[in-house]
Amino acid sequence: MKLSNYVSGRWTEGRGTGTALHDPVLGTEIARASTDGVDFAAALGHARGTGGPGLRALGYAERAALLTRIADVLSANRAAYFEIALVNSGSPESDASIDIDGAIFTLKYYARAGAALGGARYLKDGELVRLAKDEAFQSLHISQPLRGAAILINAFNFPAWGLWEKAAPALLSGVPVFAKPATATAWLTQRMVEDVVKAGVLPEGALSIVCGSAGDLLDHVTGADVVSFTGSAETALRIRGHAAVLRHSTRVNVEADSLNAALLGPEAKPGTPEFDLLVREVVREMTVKAGQKCTAIRRILVPAAQRSAVEEAIRAKLAKTVVGNPRNKDVRMGPLVSKAQQQAAAEGIAALKREASVVYDGGPDFKPLDADAAIAAFVPSTLLGCSDAPGARAVHDIEVFGPVATVVPYASAEQAFAIARLGQGSLVASVFSADAQFLAQAAVELAESHGRVLAVNAAIGSMHTGHGNVMPQCLHGGPGRAGGGEELGGLRALAFYHRRSAIQGPLDCLNTVAAQAVELRY
């Protein structure tokens, strides 16, 4: 099977043999992907010239209704998506649900939020501002949908949610989507787009997809386009430095590497709810999707006096986690998505071991259930301990994209915050403490260097959405090495797909302009 590309309003198969996609458990080839022969200039031109006008002819509420229809199509085909996730990503049902159901939930959220914007076609930003003594001359800021395409380049770990969490605000804004999923797990993304196209939900040109190499895609970007990228910092650097991106000042959003931290409060001891909540969250973040989440916990900051207790509690839970072929219902953690990712994880673990000791790594007899370890892409849960956090380098610099985390002791609250910041900018930090003052202090101290901070005590222990769970109502992104970007955050996400402009003129003109706009309410 070769995955077809949908560009310029038609399905086209790339030339040549393409790149193989594999089952990460069985090692068998399941599909091939190729973009050889795709005319990227024409494809982007079709999206801008046909898809854009078709979307902009609708108001926000009408475009929100399109998102509801997309969610309905995906819900109707949900069972097929779970099977693809099992075969292509090695995902147990619970892991696949995070991706697939998360995508559907996000679409429905933006459909509801967009419906409240009514029939307006552009946004009003603030009130009129007088520019002269006479009120006749004033100014008004408005934001209009960009007239280019939203080029969405995504990572391999969330082939469903990764597309729709970006596409939902883009389509709601009136900007056509041009999707380029990571090749290794592109089958699920491609199948979802195929189902939406077959259902005739969107105007022609509003949704395109290519599966395989990006080729010369970026050579054809303009100042009206946006590029939203999720992946490695190395690739992000190439995108930002691309000649066409620089020449046209193309807007780029990046979500990249992240050394996310979980912090246990100074007062938390074994037997307290907050201690147990941290242990549970760490184990969940290490094992869900085999740790292949950009938001997963990589560093566990604990009071020095509690280091041994924390390590033992996490080790005990990891030892009970069944790792193996997700076709077996007893399995709770599957493989990494490919042998290449397995090799990268092994190299990263080896680097971390040079300054951290092994607490748990499955032991010399580790064997995945119902799978051949020589063929499959498994990495056992690996918990490390670092004694010299301030002096460490790799622990704060190397993100192993797998089930790997390091316990890091701290001597004081101030040192804990400083250690967290050694991650050089992260997507999320979580804090577990019964001390309300410490929770508040930690939230403020960590907010500057983290895109999101989750503060947890016993009162919300059973209801919080989780360290690694990205909710569409809240910002997703982070400073520094995390990419410096912002996604989601409710209707704040629409700003990336709009261009703001100041209109100066007579009062009656501005009132007419304002009457046709809608102001966002966050």
* DSSP string over 437-448: HHHHHHHHHHHT
Q: How far is CA 16 from CA 6, 33, 37, 38, 51, in A?
A: 17, 9, 9, 12, 29
Structure tokens at 85: 């996730």
Phi, psi at 222, each rounded to 5°: -125, 180
Q: How far is CA 469 from CA 450, 452, 453, in A?
A: 15, 11, 12
Q: Contact, 168 vs 110, CB < 8 A?
A: yes
* DSSP string over 139-205: EEEEEEE-SS-EEEE--SS-TTHHHHHHHHHHHHHT--EEEE--GGGHHHHHHHHHHHHHTT-S-TT
d(CA 382, CA 95) in angstroms, rounded, equals 19
Q: Contact, 40 vs 215, CB < 8 A?
A: yes
Q: Contact, 343 vs 336, CB < 8 A?
A: no
Closest C-alpha to 222, from 151, 152, 168, 171? 151
Q: Contact, 456 vs 297, CB < 8 A?
A: no
Structure tokens at 216: 């010369």
CA angle 422, 425, 429 (to 5 degrees): 85
Where do we find the tokens 């076609």?
121
Task: Tally Cβ neighbours within 10 Å of residue 329.
Answer: 9
Listed in sequence order, the residues at least 6 apart from 303 whose beta carbon sits closer than 8 Å to its beta carbon are 264, 265, 266, 268, 409, 410
CA angle 70, 73, 77 (to 5 degrees): 140
What DSSP designation does 13 have?
P
CA angle 412, 476, 249 (to 5 degrees): 115
Told to judge if 204 belongs to the known catalytic residues of this protein, a careful annotator would answer: no
Catalytic residue, from 274, 285, 294, 486: name it.
294
The burial class, CB within 10 Å (0-12 / 13-18 / 19+), for 437 is exposed
Q: Contact, 166 vs 487, CB < 8 A?
A: yes
Where do we find the tokens 């996400």?
493
Told to judge if 294 belongs to the known catalytic residues of this protein, a careful annotator would answer: yes
Catalytic residue, from 255, 274, 281, 486: name it.
255
3-state SS, one letter per residue, for 273-302: HHHHHHHHHHHHHHHHHHHCCCCCCCEEEE
103 CB-side CA count, 13 A: 28
Annotated catalytic residues are: 255, 294
